[in-house]
Amino acid sequence: MQRGESKIIHFFMNRKTYDAKIVNVNNSVEKRKKDAYQIRYTRNGDLSQALQQYFFKTMNYIRAIRESRDLKDRSYIKMPEGLKEYLAIYTTEYEDTFLLEPIAQDDFQVMKKAIQGMKERSVENEIEYEIEDKNSGIEKRLQIVKIRKLNRKIGENLKLLYGYRYQICGRVIGEKYGSRIAEAHHIDYFVNSLNNDANNQMIVCPNHHSVIHDANPVFDWKSMIYKFNNGCEEKIRINKHLMRKNG
């Protein structure tokens, strides 16, 4: 799409199709290096109403914050980590059709119960290799699969971003043999944070991944360094997506 152009796209969500418009909002005045797109839909249309039904807890939180603010305060409202909900958008074989998958707070509560007492490495393995809990009910499995799918997709996209090069050691293993081996690691352990944002995942080699989980070092977000109890440090050598945090 050229700058300023728009086109109709279709979203498929829970066996229903919704129409929306995608707009390339970049223009020659702003001179952005990359094009920026917006998805627009009618405020009170079918898609809007469907999303409000899924994300009613988020809507209630935002509404409460706005009601407590000064009317002139239109600043961005940031959701707390424990209240975040997600809308995953996946491509399909048709370039104008996308799959929407809402992941609400209730889904995370089911996931939280499912992984309670598990080690982080085991949870990440389940996400990476799609281990299925056949003892769970169908509805519970579907809720868990949604979160695993989103986590895995984020990790896969990060691997592509880094060309399967590891952020800590800077190496690529397996290329000589026509193989690509890389693992996505949750910086703030997923079993505790349930945070699957890209800014909570890094791409590491299997060795560093195992060492991190065995030694359990502290990650210094300000300096982008893993600090181990024995005094060793591992600095992130390659960074294309992680954002530093103060404090």
DSSP characters over 158-188: HHHHTTT--TTT----SGGGT----EEEESS
Q: Cβ(8)–Cβ(96) under 8 Å?
A: yes
Give the residue, 118 or 167, on which the prediction is more confident: 167
Stretch 8-19: mean pLDDT: 94
Give the residue, 196 or 26, on which the prediction is more confident: 196
* 14 has pLDDT over 70: yes
Cα separations (Å) of 181 from 19, 163, 203, 208? 39, 11, 10, 13
pLDDT at site 90:
93
Domain residue ranges of the chain, discontinuous segments joined by +: 1-100, 104-247
Residue reference for tokens 């103060």 = 246
* DSSP bridge pairs for 101: 88
**Helix, strand or coil for residue 140?**
helix
pTM of the model: 0.77
pLDDT at site 135:
56
Q: What percent of the chain has pLDDT over 70?
A: 91
Rounded Cα distance, 102 and 83, in Å: 14
- What is the pLDDT confidence band of residue 28, given thresholds at 50, 70 and 90? low
37-74 pLDDT per residue, tens: 899 999 999 999 999 999 999 999 999 998 998 888 88
Rounded Cα distance, 7 and 95, in Å: 11
Stretch 64-87: mean pLDDT: 87
Across the chain, mean pLDDT equals: 88
Stretch 79-97: mean pLDDT: 89
**Helix, strand or coil for residue 218?**
strand
pLDDT at site 9:
96
Q: Cβ(188)–Cβ(180) under 8 Å?
A: no
pLDDT at site 116:
87
Cα separations (Å) of 199 from 17, 71, 79, 106, 207? 31, 32, 15, 23, 21
Q: CB-based burial of residue 207 (10 Å sphere; 0-12 exposed, 13-18 middle, 19+ buried)?
A: middle
* 225 has pLDDT over 60: yes
133-181 pLDDT per residue, tens: 555 555 566 678 888 888 899 999 999 999 999 999 999 988 888 888 9
pLDDT at site 165:
95
Other CB atoms within 10 Å distance of the CB of residue 44: 8
* 10 has pLDDT over 70: yes
Q: In whole angstroms, what separates CA 215 from the centre of its chain?
A: 26
121-146 pLDDT per residue, tens: 888 887 776 555 555 555 566 678 88
DSSP characters over 67-118: HHS-TT--PPPPPPGGG--EEEEEE-SSTTEEEEEEE-HHHHHHHHHHTTT-
Q: Cβ(21)–Cβ(9) under 8 Å?
A: yes
